[in-house]
Every structure is written in C-alpha cells, then in structure tokens.
Amino acid sequence: MSNIVLVGATGDIGKSIHGNLQNHNLITFSHRNTPVYNSRHYYLDLSQPFTKEAIDRKLEEFDTVDTLIFTPGEALFELIQDTSLEQVDKQYNVSIRALITFIQSLLGKLRHSDCASIIVISSVWGTYGSSMESVYSAFKGAQETLVKSLAKELAPSNITVNAVAPGVVRGKMTLKLNESDISMMLEDLPQGRLIEPEEVASAVEYLRSDKARSITGEVLKINGGWYT
C-alpha cells in the first residue's frame, strides 16, 4: 500500500483519481468540498499563500510519500487588459506557488520511497495557449516547464516527474456552457466528444506505476487529437 498525497481531490478529475486509488493510503486536500471517498482529508485555500511548514505539520507522522498528485486549476476567461492583478496572483498561487510548496515539503519523504512520482494535471492550453485565457495558459505552461526541469533535477533521486494535459473534459466547468456552445465546440474536436475524467485518472494510474519508471519529464496529451 502506497502513501499518496492528492491535492485537489474534489474536482471532476481529482474525484476520479481518488476513486482509482482507494486501496492506498491517501492524504487529500481541497479548498471547501468534502471528498466522496475515504481519506485523511485537510482543507486548504490554494489561492492564498501558505507555508511549507503548514504541510509539514499535517504529514509529520509519515516518513515516506510515494506519490504527489497535483490537480488544482481555476478557470479564468478574461482579456488581458481586463484581468486584475489580484486575479493574476490567485492564478499564480493555485498553479505554481502551491505546487512548489507541496514539492518542497514532500521532497524528503519522496526520496525515501523506492518508486516515487510527482504527477501534475496541466491543460492543453499550457502547451498551446488560448485567447481569452492568457493568464491561465501562462501558469499552466509554467507547470509544464517545471515538470521538465524537475524531471532532470530529481532523476538521481529516482523520482519521476510528469504532467497530464487534458483537452475538453466532461465536468462542471464544461457543462456550464449552453447547448449551442457545446455543439460548436464538439464540431472542433476531431473525435467529436468530450474527454471523460476517468481517462485522465487512468493515465495518472499508469504514470505512478512500476511500468512507467523510465517515463519522466513528459507532458501526456489527452485531447482526442485536437492539438497534436
């Protein structure tokens, strides 16, 4: 049984990942919602700065962590000139500062594992960018660059570092669109369908397995051929 830290356990993707890992010892984090599945759970607002010591205290009884899975993301649809610096700060805190803080806190425990991994859920826009989502895209792109850099930095410690970059995933954010917008979007998708959260969860399950020990520094695209 592995010790797994799952940050963002209550979103559509996080919930599916959580469901796949029920046989492991899970320590989960979310902002305000309670996970559907059992875990040792903590509430944490990632949009505000927090210290490494805040995470250390919650995990002090664990000598080893085998996997860190980081799923949070907060949509931001704004023209750059209409985006407040407060919104920029929140995006940075959620996508980058919180991720780095968790990695710094858990790194010693990950080094004690025989099969350690860090997996970040990024976005198609982190690679290709999106009009009206430039700030969101910028920080998702920063996540992917961090993954590639850390893969080299942590390879001697036998820690793999990868990202999964989904396209349009079926979930709360997507289904807020009206039927006309969804129909137009589906016409633009080569497969003509939304990605199921379970598809992303299965990729995460593979990347943390023994069968993927030589895969590191990769951004695995799950977008139905939308951007290739």
What is the domain-level CATH number for residue 81?
A: 3.40.50.720
> Are 222 and 166 in contact, with CB atoms under 8 Å apart?
yes
pTM of the model as a whole: 0.93
Looking at residue 193, its pLDDT comes to 74
228 in a structural domain: no
Which residues are catalytically annotated? 136
Structural domains of the chain, count: 1
120-175 confidence digits (pLDDT tens):
999 988 898 888 889 999 999 999 999 999 999 999 999 999 999 998 777 776 66
Range of the domain at 137: 3-168+196-222
Q: Residue 86: is it exposed, middle or buried by C-beta count within 10 angstroms (0-12/13-18/19+)?
A: exposed
